[in-house]
Structure 1
């Protein structure tokens, strides 16, 4: 394995990539803090398996981001680690050749190179942090990070995110409970001391100051969706009780779509209607989206049989559907602004 310093030296971020990342971190924090009335929209494949298709998607998303930049802050999902409930392909970082060879050094290089190229295009990058060693290699290229439903209770991940420089979304647990995500935000906002590795790979004592930009991500759960007005209000009330900012992000996929990608537009339509009507508290949305709709099984070692631009993990909406969803959200922000202006 290369050390983090070695990998960053081999694949440095360009000046534009650094600027893109820093600006998006600042803007997301301002949206979450209520200082910016735009919505954060985090869109992209469930997990990246084909860098070429990911770059194709990124080029299209960059155009859409520019079209809606006055109302939305578009961030691309570049998820390279895939948490598994049992077993299966664990993501581009773990198995970049998709053949079970598990070339981790190659996966790290491929993942960092891909993130660097996307950020260099002016499009911010989002990812989920799963293995606690990975952020040392990739975090400087990431504008928004997530802690998943299976790891939101982990003290290790709460400590980790307390030292990361980007806003972090903590998902509700798989049963739909929000309390653990709120606890994680409070924990990660404080200072921690724990064992870690420095850039040279040496074991060190890590001291963090706390991350002030943690927030809840509602993704539904075992009891069903939680993107509706009442579950959102309940989550905001929990945040208020913890004296945290009353802003959250809604994941249109996973439990909120009952794992049916064709239901994601229904979630977005409902959210857009409520945002246009002036509902507050929803600072952004997540969309699982790729070039082709649905999903496909991964034939081990036979990438020639894969459909281009179609997910090999969770099913995604296709590109035309993505465009429609994003434009609906942009229109909702426009309507909300007009109503505020008319009332003011």
Structure 2
């Protein structure tokens, strides 16, 4: 086989023992998770803003960014719950390029998964200690989940992973909300089938164990736009798209029907500066339809300190080295604008 076993990485138990979540932060997380859960069950009418860098590439700049978010959260806490994005694994369309801090704790050096796991956990723990906010991450590799299961408050399954059986079954064992994105084709039924699977109980093999899950009633949909056969972006955040998704939900026996709208990716045609306009339209749709207001629980926004993106070699502080992001000034205004329009 063309596989070289490089070195054995530490187990989740070893990582959590070396870098534990302090008891006082566990209590804070329980309280925060309960708040977020109430949004999905309909017990709370607060709006979720899942916002942050495309990839969490640098501990200092990521924590700087989240500290800024925490100050804004204090000002909008009556209407909005902010969940910072700390995305530590990045899917690459061609498999080439920077795959996230877990792979490369230093983007300019060779992959080192052992040090990457430590870097990931330390960054999360620092962000929690400094801000008392608990983050979202994308589950690119289901077997990574035990390394961060105690520190995340939200998980997303990406457009290229949402049809994968192992992702769906692993989500069924979560006790936090997990958003299932529509696939790149845009087929809504595939996204909803993923929710059915994630909300169901399963028995399967996971990390050398036969496991049984209870099902995750907080599994829900994320609309991120689609790409057609001509490689053209097809947005799916418009009023008619939300009405259609709501109608499809009504035909299924899913718990806690909910949708998050991703304002970037194919919805913006990767034009990051369009995100405020897209969010504004989604909020307008919520305000003219009670059904859409009940369905759309929040938005997802790619944002960092500096707008746009850069090459890894440029070393601009707080600027994305993967997809282009909204800058901090525009992001702060957007959050306040969301609060005003709710």
The structural deviation recorded for 1:100 is 4.1
Q: 1:255 matched to which residue of 2?
A: 266
Q: 1:292 matched to which residue of 2?
A: 306
Separation (CA, whole Å) in 2 of partners of 1:317 and 1:20: 29
Q: How many residues align?
A: 323
**Where does the alignment leave 5 or more consecutive residues of structure 1 unmatched?**
198-202, 300-304, 334-344
SS in 2 for 1:259: coil
1:112 aligns with 2:121: yes
The structural deviation recorded for 1:278 is 5.2
**Where does the alignment leave 5 or more consecutive residues of structure 2 unmatched?**
1-8, 229-233
1:61 aligns with 2:69: yes
Q: 1:190 matched to which residue of 2?
A: 200
Separation (CA, whole Å) in 2 of partners of 1:177 and 1:261: 23
The structural deviation recorded for 1:316 is 0.3
Cα deviations across residues 176-195 of structure 1 (Å, max 9, x unaligned)?
Answer: 22111110111111111112
Greater RCO between the two (CA within 8 Å, min separation 6)? 1
Q: 1:264 matched to which residue of 2?
A: 275
1:38 aligns with 2:46: yes
Contact conserved, 1:221 with 1:255, CA < 8 A, in 2? Answer: yes
Separation (CA, whole Å) in 1 of partners of 2:187 and 2:132: 36
Separation (CA, whole Å) in 1 of partners of 2:320 and 2:305: 9
SS in 1 for 2:99: coil
Match of 2:252 among 242, 249, 252: 242
Separation (CA, whole Å) in 2 of partners of 1:329 and 1:21: 25
Separation (CA, whole Å) in 2 of partners of 1:98 and 1:16: 33
Separation (CA, whole Å) in 2 of partners of 1:111 and 1:291: 20
Alignment of 1:48-127 (within 5 A): 48-86=56-94, 87-120=96-129, 121-127=131-137
Q: 2:241 matched to which residue of 1?
A: 231
Which segment is superposed worse, 41-50 or 94-103?
Answer: 94-103
Cα deviations across residues 221-256 of structure 1 (Å, max 9, x unaligned)?
Answer: 115111111101111111111122332110011011
Write out the 4+ residue segments of structure 1 that deviate beyond 6 Å after TM superposition: none
Separation (CA, whole Å) in 2 of partners of 1:188 and 1:275: 26
Match of 2:336 among 327, 339, 342: 327
The structural deviation recorded for 1:109 is 0.6
Separation (CA, whole Å) in 2 of partners of 1:189 and 1:100: 40
Q: 2:14 matched to which residue of 1?
A: 6
1:177 aligns with 2:187: yes
SS in 2 for 1:134: helix
Residues 43 and 16 (structure 1), Cα distance of their counterparts in 2 relative to 1, 3 Å cut:
farther
Contact conserved, 1:144 with 1:166, CA < 8 A, in 2? Answer: yes
Contact conserved, 1:16 with 1:119, CA < 8 A, in 2? Answer: no
Scaled by the length of structure 2, the TM-score of the pair is 0.91
Separation (CA, whole Å) in 2 of partners of 1:51 and 1:172: 30
Contact conserved, 1:22 with 1:143, CA < 8 A, in 2? Answer: no
Separation (CA, whole Å) in 2 of partners of 1:274 and 1:327: 18
Cα deviations across residues 251-308 of structure 1 (Å, max 9, x unaligned)?
Answer: 0110111110011111012123333445412110000000000011223xxxxx3111
Contact conserved, 2:186 with 2:225, CA < 8 A, in 1? Answer: yes
RMSD: 1.3
Scaled by the length of structure 1, the TM-score of the pair is 0.91
1:21 aligns with 2:29: yes
Contact conserved, 2:108 with 2:312, CA < 8 A, in 1? Answer: no
